Structure 1
Amino acid sequence: MVRVAGITLLALIVAAFPGSAGVPAAAPAQSASFDCAKAGHPLEKTICASPKLRALDAEVAAAYRERLALIFDKQAFRGQQRDWQQILRTRCASKCDAAAVEADYVQQRDSLRAPLPENYEASYKTADVATLTINHVDARRFDFTLIRDREGETLCKLPGSDGEAGAVATLASPANASWSAGACRIDFTLKRDAGGHVVAITTAASSGCKRYCKGAFGLTDNFTPANNWVAGNQ
């Protein structure tokens, strides 16, 4: 081995090129979703002191951003995340238990990655109520169920039976989506506020959709959000 002033040439190569000569370079530490140099709250300090918690914090933040990009009722969804964060901070007002924080983070991460149905409702002065339930497939598609009932009696239901394939609508734009099967077509108009939050959904059903309903009842309606998502750590 060649020596330079008492240092082996291999040592010089490794110093210049970490990970070379069969010596693996150290993996970069996982960063939290916030600047640990500015951590002041006991919760932030607890997270920054643990590589596992820093990684979980980053995972939760990424899962939240991905879900927020898909969700229509962004206002209620942001509220659920704020509630979850506030509960954590309150529990850690003076001292944090790292194991408890980890359990909360794992629960929230898994909750954000799981399906989250959105509920919209159209109510009337009469006893019948229509509900629209949405599950996002991806950024362009969502499956939905439309039901109108009256005191336990089903007046309309799309899909029509438990054995029927689900109805998947496609977004043509942020404001318009549609679904069709045979003679039935449902057009969705999404009214959004300046922040992209859907404040109302209008459904327009073609005459061919009558087969999903009884009598004169129909699936054309105006729906507003009816989501009250609860923080998972409550």
Structure 2
Amino acid sequence: MLRITAFGLFALFLALCGLRAATPPPQSASFDCAKASHPLEKTICASPKLRALDGEVAALYKAKLAVLFDKQGFKGQQRDWQQILRSRCAKTCDPAAVEADYTVQRDSLKSFGEELWEASYKTADVAQLTINHVDARQFDFGITRDLEGKMLCRLPASDGEAGAIATLASPAQASWSAGACRIDFALTRDATGHVTRIDTTASAGCKRYCTGTYGLSDAFLPANSWVASNQ
């Protein structure tokens, strides 16, 4: 007859607790599966892997949306992706195809980061502001202005130069400085908080990044051409 001492029972209890703690609960979908009605939703809810992918994509999207300035454009990309996916599953869904779509979108959201803003002129020169968000309060940026292939302004001055990190002082203001050069960013937001315009004001010390009479002070509008990953 097998005898288990009190110490043995205690050790067994700890082992069982440890096994339970080491096994994470299955990741859930981003919606309530009890209310699933569309064929796509039912296909996702029937597969633990698809439920996890749906939850992961939703979390990545939410995290990106929280820091991006051009929220309207980014929302449009996600909305288009969802509509295309739902239309492909209007009647029946192939779980393998859904998994492939979700995997591509997940990888796209993981690698995505840059925003593009452009200044509009009556002349042929074009100014661009690129933004990569470090976190909710800081963003790495670059400003270029060229005329038919000729570089007029460039910050950072070269590809090998360290990026310029601007810091948000408030939802409407950010700034960056290095030596005698300072750039202030004024962010215009609509009623929903989306940034619709970014104005840059550069100090006189920033002239070293430009040629002739050109400068880094501009009014930039969103120029992102984000498309759904399943298009």
TM exceeding 0.5:
yes
Instruction: Give the Cα separation in 2 of the matches to 1:128 and 1:69.
Output: 33
Determine if the alignment matches structure 1 residue 199 to structure 2 residue 196. yes
> For residue 43 of structure 1, what is the aligned residue in structure 2?
40
Deviation at 1:35, TM superposition (A): 0.7
- Greater helix percent: which structure? 2
> For residue 125 of structure 1, what is the aligned residue in structure 2?
122
Instruction: In structure 2, list runs of 5 or more residues that go unmatched.
Output: 2-8
Deviation at 1:27, TM superposition (A): 5.4
> For residue 16 of structure 1, what is the aligned residue in structure 2?
none
> For residue 8 of structure 1, what is the aligned residue in structure 2?
none
> For residue 71 of structure 1, what is the aligned residue in structure 2?
68
In structure 1, which of residues 96, 99, 103 is the aligned counterpart of residue 100 of structure 2?
Answer: 103
> For residue 170 of structure 1, what is the aligned residue in structure 2?
167
Deviation at 1:21, TM superposition (A): 6.5
The CA RMSD over aligned residues, in Å, is 1.9
> For residue 90 of structure 1, what is the aligned residue in structure 2?
87
Instruction: Give the Cα separation in 2 of the matches to 1:162 and 1:49.
Output: 49
Instruction: Give the Cα separation in 1 of the matches to 2:34 and 2:159.
Output: 54
Q: Give the structure-2-normalised TM-score.
A: 0.90
Instruction: Give the Cα separation in 1 of the matches to 2:35 and 2:60.
Output: 23
Instruction: Give the Cα separation in 1 of the matches to 2:24 and 2:154.
Output: 54
27 and 139 in structure 1: CA distance in 2 versus 1, 3 angstrom threshold: closer
Determine if the alignment matches structure 1 residue 183 to structure 2 residue 166. no
Deviation at 1:104, TM superposition (A): 1.0
Instruction: Give the Cα separation in 1 of the matches to 2:146 and 2:88.
Output: 43
Instruction: Give the Cα separation in 2 of the matches to 1:191 and 1:212.
Output: 25
27 and 160 in structure 1: CA distance in 2 versus 1, 3 angstrom threshold: closer
**Matched-pair identity in %:** 72
Instruction: Give the Cα separation in 1 of the matches to 2:101 and 2:13.
Output: 40
Counterpart amino acid of 1:60?
V
Instruction: In structure 1, list runs of 5 or more residues that go unmatched.
Output: 2-12, 14-18
Counterpart amino acid of 2:182?
R
Instruction: Give the Cα separation in 2 of the matches to 1:115 and 1:39.
Output: 30
Q: Which secondary structure state, in structure 2, belongs to the residue aligned with residue 34 of structure 1?
A: coil
Q: Which secondary structure state, in structure 2, belongs to the residue aligned with residue 121 of structure 1?
A: strand
Q: Which secondary structure state, in structure 1, belongs to the residue aligned with residue 90 of structure 2?
A: coil
- Which deviates further from its counterpart, 105-114 or 147-156? 105-114
Deviation at 1:195, TM superposition (A): 1.3
Deviation at 1:167, TM superposition (A): 0.8
Deviation at 1:113, TM superposition (A): 1.7
> For residue 4 of structure 2, what is the aligned residue in structure 1?
none
Aligned length: 220
Deviation at 1:29, TM superposition (A): 3.6
Instruction: Give the Cα separation in 2 of the matches to 1:141 and 1:30.
Output: 31
> For residue 207 of structure 2, what is the aligned residue in structure 1?
210
1:47-75 residue CA offsets vs partner (Å, 9 max, x unmatched): 00000000110111111110000100000
Q: Which secondary structure state, in structure 1, belongs to the residue aligned with residue 227 of structure 2?
A: coil
Instruction: Give the Cα separation in 1 of the matches to 2:199 and 2:38.
Output: 45
